[in-house]
Structure 1
Amino acid sequence: MTAKAKGQAAVKSYSIIEPAELLPFLLSVITNKGRNSVKSLLTRGQVSVNGKPITRHNFQLHPGQTVTIDQEKQVQAKEMTLLTIVHEDDDLIIIQKDAGLLSIATGEDNELTAYRQLMEHVRLTNPRNRIYVVHRLDRDTSGVMMFAKSEAIQQKLQNTWKETVKERSYVALVEGAVKKAEGTISSWLKETSTLKMYSSPHEGDGLHAITHYKLIQANRHFSLLEVQLETGRKNQIRVHMADIGHPIAGDKKYGAETKAVGRLGLHARVLSFVHPTSGELLTFESAIPKTFLKYTAPAPTN
């Protein structure tokens, strides 16, 4: 044993007796948590040596030093704008993004983005920490979104995306009454010089895109659809909804005539995937926006 322990359950201090590296030492004294959970204590600044928070795994401990673990210590995070962190571990951050927030910058340094806010968040515990983009949501699309905390995890997720992601579903508020209760749209998407996507009339000309949809509810003016992506192409849902004559509400770029909800009628509702490190199946679900339900409520019957 390299230390003597003292303290309450939530805050424990250890007097170092023998030299050791910090992470192996913590793993030896915290026996009721897994390796990732112990590493998270470091990441969150909940471990200090002689009163100073330490986040380095290989920090060298010496006899006479005191290691304190405070599992109730809260990191003073800056308040987030238009996003909420719903899950965070050593490898990933999952957020709920509101409509109106860019995922990443489009060129201007002072733009408010999810990426920029999360970068500031992870650097609270270590100035060298970074986050990495795994996938994107359009500015006016709300819902569940994932970021990686290392380049290795980003690459692993992107290289195995089709196998890793078990469900990626959206809800779409579209114009008009969709008559068919469910359907599949398949086309080859291309991009114009003005960055607008479209379905090519020629098979094999562009990137193959497949979208499945099911009708949730509808009235004469709007329909609410559950949309499952088999492929993840740029603006795929927006193009495919326009292709079947039911553009997404508020999507002027792809032919919408209404501004019913004052935003794009698209919401990333479910993201279910196998964790790249633990292998655990994680599922994150976000509620359907109330305005989407309101605008598609069936007309009352007498």
Structure 2
Amino acid sequence: MAAPGRMLPSPTKEGPLLLWLLDVLKPMNRTRVKQLLKFGGVSINGQSVTRHDHPVKPGDKVIVLRGSPPPEETILERAGINIVHQDDALIIIDKPAGLLTVATDSEKHVTAFAILSAQLEAIDAGRPYVVHRLDRDTSGLLVFARSPEAQETLQDNWEEVTKTYLAITEGTPNPAEGLIDTHLAETRDLRMRISPQSEGTKRAITAYKVISTYEKYALLEVELRTGRKHQIRVHLASRGHPVIGDQVYGAKTNPANRLGLHAWKLGFDHPVTGEWLETEVPLPHVLKRIV
């Protein structure tokens, strides 16, 4: 049985599929035509075809399948990734909790970098360049550059970026607003701990403010003044109020089945134009329902 879709006129001469589609599907642009091919949106004589150089010839029955998903649905949305901002210099995504930023020894393929790379490759739009990272279990804003030059500019100025998180803690910090200024060191088990200043430690500064409370939890707005590994998690745990779901640093509850930490806002000078760019993504529903 033929797949439902739009039947195209039969080719008048033999030639490569992509070139023929570009002509017969005008004014559809080249990018969209390649998307159709890449993601199984074209059928020839009842068989899905994805190769650009597949030969078509007179008498072939070519169908553009209805409901063929564009790559952003196939690659990004299935991974739970939304693009928040995109231009020629950078891409900012909303990363879901549970997804690595980049590959590790145990996970090479299911990462934000790999998924975004596949998306850009599918539409011949270059590749992403890593600017910074989010912990696997932290959701929210993650910035990728689109050139080595933009990557270098963003990384060189990353300390100047305003980085604001939302955190849900066990209990309510007292005072309700404050600044935590310590030094952190990494232990052999790759955890971070507060440590006296020494050659092997790094200064970490976190500002926090309680926004609301609900029963045994509190919602905090947290600003990173420095960007150390696990900084927010260690600092809040040191005050006796670990982030929910953070068993590594002492949390006893996990009401959302994930870490209660979300990269909420970013603000920085655009690496090319120099204009101030600010982005924001709301707290995921699974966390919002708690507070």
Deviation at 1:181, TM superposition (A): 1.8
What one-letter code is carried by the residue in structure 1 that aligns with 2:75? E
- How far apart are the structure 1 equivalents of 2:94 and 2:153? 22
Partner of 1:233: 228
Partner of 1:148: 145
Partner of 1:294: 289
Contact 1:183/1:213, CA 8 A, preserved across alignment:
yes
Contact 1:104/1:116, CA 8 A, preserved across alignment:
yes
Name the SS for the 1:287 alignment partner.
Answer: coil
Partner of 1:66: none
Deviation at 1:277, TM superposition (A): 0.2
What 5-or-longer segments of structure 1 have no aligned partner? 1-41, 47-73, 297-302
- How far apart are the structure 2 equivalents of 1:204 and 1:279? 35
Partner of 1:36: none
Name the SS for the 1:118 alignment partner.
Answer: helix
Partner of 1:174: 169
Contact 1:144/1:268, CA 8 A, preserved across alignment:
yes
Partner of 1:255: 250
- How far apart are the structure 1 equivalents of 2:288 and 2:225? 25
Greater displacement, 109-118 / 86-95: 109-118
Question: What per-residue deviation string (whole Å, max 9, x for no partner) do you get for residues 179-199 of structure 1?
Answer: 312000011110011100111
- How far apart are the structure 2 equivalents of 1:109 and 1:285? 28
- How far apart are the structure 2 equivalents of 1:75 and 1:90? 20
Partner of 1:116: 114
Question: What per-residue deviation string (whole Å, max 9, x for no partner) do you get for residues 211-270 of structure 1?
Answer: 000000114411110000000001000100111110100000001110111100000000
- How far apart are the structure 1 equivalents of 2:214 and 2:124? 52
Q: Does 1:206 align with 2:201?
A: yes
Deviation at 1:295, TM superposition (A): 2.5
- How far apart are the structure 2 equivalents of 1:238 and 1:130? 32
Going from structure 1 to structure 2, the CA distance change for 1:272 and 1:240 (only over 3 Å counts) comes to same
- How far apart are the structure 2 equivalents of 1:98 and 1:263? 10
Going from structure 1 to structure 2, the CA distance change for 1:283 and 1:107 (only over 3 Å counts) comes to same
Q: TM-score, normalised by structure 2?
A: 0.72
Q: TM-score, normalised by structure 1?
A: 0.69
- How far apart are the structure 2 equivalents of 1:197 and 1:270? 24
What one-letter code is carried by the residue in structure 2 that aligns with 1:96? D
Structure 1 vs Structure 2 CA RMSD: 2.4
- How far apart are the structure 1 equivalents of 2:215 and 2:135? 28
What one-letter code is carried by the residue in structure 2 that aligns with 1:277? V
Name the SS for the 2:289 alignment partner.
Answer: helix
Contact 1:172/1:265, CA 8 A, preserved across alignment:
yes
Q: Percent identity?
A: 46
- How far apart are the structure 2 equivalents of 1:82 and 1:103? 13
- How far apart are the structure 1 equivalents of 2:269 and 2:251? 36
What 5-or-longer segments of structure 2 have no aligned partner? 1-28, 33-68
Deviation at 1:203, TM superposition (A): 6.5
Contact 1:185/1:240, CA 8 A, preserved across alignment:
yes
What one-letter code is carried by the residue in structure 2 that aligns with 1:134? V
Contact 1:103/1:136, CA 8 A, preserved across alignment:
yes
What one-letter code is carried by the residue in structure 2 that aligns with 1:121? Q
1:1-302 equivalences in 2 (<5 Å): 45=31, 76-77=71-72, 78-80=74-76, 81-108=79-106, 110-126=108-124, 129-163=126-160, 165=161, 167-202=162-197, 206-296=201-291
Deviation at 1:96, TM superposition (A): 0.6
- How far apart are the structure 2 equivalents of 1:293 and 1:109? 29
Partner of 1:53: none
What one-letter code is carried by the residue in structure 1 that aligns with 2:158? W
Deviation at 1:292, TM superposition (A): 3.2
Aligned length: 226
